[in-house]
Amino acid sequence: MVGQGVLRVAVVSPQEVVMRGIVSMLADYPDRVVATAVPSARSVGAGADVILYDTFGLFLGGGPELFSLLDESDAKVLIFSRDLRPDLLALAYTLGASAWISMGVHADELVRSIELTAAGEPIREPQGDRQGTMAGLTSREIEVLKLIAEGLSNQDIAEKLAMSGNTLKSHIRQTYRKIEVTTRSQAVGWARAHGLASPVELG
């Protein structure tokens, strides 16, 4: 029997090794979460507080089931994604996802993210800066990209970072080149898909 305050988590992944591995990780926190392995979103029964959804399901054509989960489920949906598949995470956001965690996080970070998701609070993804570094961005370029994703204008960013407009434009050009985008909206999408955007409130 689940104790009061313990969250019920359905782990959805088409890969058994991933699904059972995460359930095993979460088993170390029985006073906070109780996890069940579910091979398909269609198999998620009533009663789950949080659904942990593997974006690899989207690679196998799981877009409709994720959309259905996000649109119809009473449970909160937390996306978990591989660092090397930002395309799948971007697709999850397109379908309406608003909370995600990297598959590379430690168990305690995952449990905390589940608790934040259940409470409807934003998650501050700890892997974002690391992903920016993996893309070849400098710390300054990561900072600029975060501010772009927050919706600040070039003038506001330049003032906030105490740099000239020309210097900022140079940083932006280099950043866009490294992440292979050409527009501001694409840069925001990349930042969000890689955990660099400001947290989005869960509805």
pTM of the full structure: 0.58
Which runs of E-coded beta strand occur in the chain? 7-12, 33-38, 50-54, 76-81, 100-102
19 and 115 belong to one structural domain: yes
* Domain presence at residue 203: no
Q: Provide the domain count of the chain.
A: 2
Which pLDDT does position 92 carry in this prediction? 73
Structural domain of 38: 7-125
Residues 77 and 165 in one domain: no
Is the pLDDT at 198 greater than 60? The verdict is no
CATH of the domain at 64: 3.40.50.2300
The pLDDT score that the predictor gives to residue 196 is 73
CA-wise closest residue to 92 among 128, 114, 62, 129: 62
